[in-house]
A and B are shown apart, each in its own frame.
Chain A
């Protein structure tokens, strides 16, 4: 079982604040790193798939970076809005690509 860790476990921010959280994963045998947003009562929704060291991806106010050599990825949210409230999951694929190893998630609450 590969260890994927996310921090912090939960986060409360005021509307308009920018925030970021971390996903740590094994730096060996890397294939891909995935970020998902999981809103209450909905299915997890894919945000980003990142495969190259130094990758940066952006979708609206959300962006992510990847460092495969040291085994971490950051997710940034600029100007948080209440609709950003969700659990953010990261998942690691090793080189076999067969399995996704998920972190426990970061629960974000944006207070209006």
Chain B
């Protein structure tokens, strides 16, 4: 089945810890994206990548980092510098039409 997978579905982190969210796609898409959703807000872009080994900051990149070493993988690291990391994180791929993963809900304890 073609699609996007994200893991884990739920993640708990202690303050001060870095944590990495996984995103994998087998749709052969060049473009991949990370979004964050908070209650009452739309999806906000954290980082995006148009091609392997290249990525750009979105509107709210501070406190996050990404890598794009393989076409099918675009992991997101939430660092301790992110002041308010508790949120729902969605990964997507595709340029003219976006396909979304199921999301990861991150809670900082």
Contact = CB atoms under 8 A, between A and B. Distances in A.
A102 B102 contact: no
A32 B96 contact: yes
Interface string A73-112: 0000000000000000101000001111111110000000
Given A49-B97, A98-B48, A98-B50, A103 B42 contact: yes
A99 B99 contact: no
A102 B50 CA distance: 19
B98 interface: yes
Interface string A45-68: 110010000000000000000000
A46 B41 CA distance: 19
Contacts, number: 50
Contacts of A45: 100
Interface in B88-109: 90, 92, 95-103
B43 interface: yes
A104 B98 contact: no
Contacts of B40: 104
A49 B58 CA distance: 22
A34 B42 contact: no
A104 B100 CA distance: 17
Contacts of A104: 40-42
Contacts of B100: 43-45
Interface string A1-36: 100100000000000000000000000000010101
A36 B37 CA distance: 15
10 contacts: A34-B97, A43-B101, A43-B103, A44-B90, A46-B97, A97-B96, A99-B48, A102-B43, A102-B44, A105-B42
Interface of A: 1, 4, 32, 34, 36, 42-46, 49, 89, 91, 97-105
Given A4-B42, A45-B100, A46-B99, 18 more contacts: A1-B59, A34-B97, A36-B98, A43-B99, A43-B103, A44-B90, A49-B96, A97-B95, A97-B96, A98-B50, A99-B45, A99-B58, A100-B92, A100-B98, A102-B42, A102-B44, A104-B40, A105-B42
